[in-house]
Amino acid sequence: MNYRALLFPLFSALATVAFGQPQTVNGTLTVQPGSDIGLIVDQHPTGGYQFGILLKTERDDTKAFSLLRSDNSNATNFTIWGNGVVNIRKLYAEEVEVRPDAMGLQWPDYVFDDCYDRPTIEDVQRFIEANHHLPLLPPAAVVEDKGYNVTNVITQLLETIEVQSLQIIELNERLKAVEAEQTCH
């Protein structure tokens, strides 16, 4: 069976591969129809930072790479867009590393600075009573409607935990003072 030809931008060359027979292009790209593996890219770099597959796009809204279901639904399970955004249905990972220097985020240790305007427990209580969610964090309706940015939420949760830790320390100091006062009388 000879289905339509596909273009593979690979190693700065365009190679047309027709489905139907196993084919190798430049000794690195193999299409194997009817096997457990449909496409093999066998790249053995001799230096650092070489590409196994390089896809170039000129537009942010181009689907640079997509993985579709092979059933009749053709549902998209994975897409890399030209702007680097990745859409994925489900992600399993052994490890995910977020680099603050690459993302331009500030880790919230600034809450320990003297100039940080830390909310009081009463401030937090009033906010929760009025808004029905924690300060800094988005309400459920926003998350259900728009989703959330994991990096932002983790940073906001850490800031909340650090503020709460300082509030607990402050409450503990107050409790110790009350207990010391009661034992003196």
CA 82 to chain centre: 17
Q: What is the pLDDT of residues 70-123, one digit of tens each?
A: 777 778 888 888 888 888 888 888 888 877 666 667 889 999 999 999 999 999
Comparing 6-10, 16-20, 36-40, 90-94, the range with the smallest average pLDDT is 6-10
Indicate the SS3 state at residue 40. strand
Q: How confident is the model at residue 130 (pLDDT cuts 50, 70, 90)?
A: very high
Q: Note the pLDDT tens digit of each residue in 51-84.
A: 667 777 888 888 888 887 777 777 888 888 888 8
> Residue 50 burial (CB < 10 Å; 0-12/13-18/19+)?
exposed
Confidence category of residue 140, pLDDT binned at 50, 70, 90:
very high
Residue 95 CA to residue 56 CA, distance in Å, equals 27
Beta bridge partners of 40: 30
Q: Pick from 40, 32, 48: which is nearest to 10 by CA?
A: 40
Q: Return the C-alpha torsion angle 16, 20, 25, 29, nearest 10.
A: 110
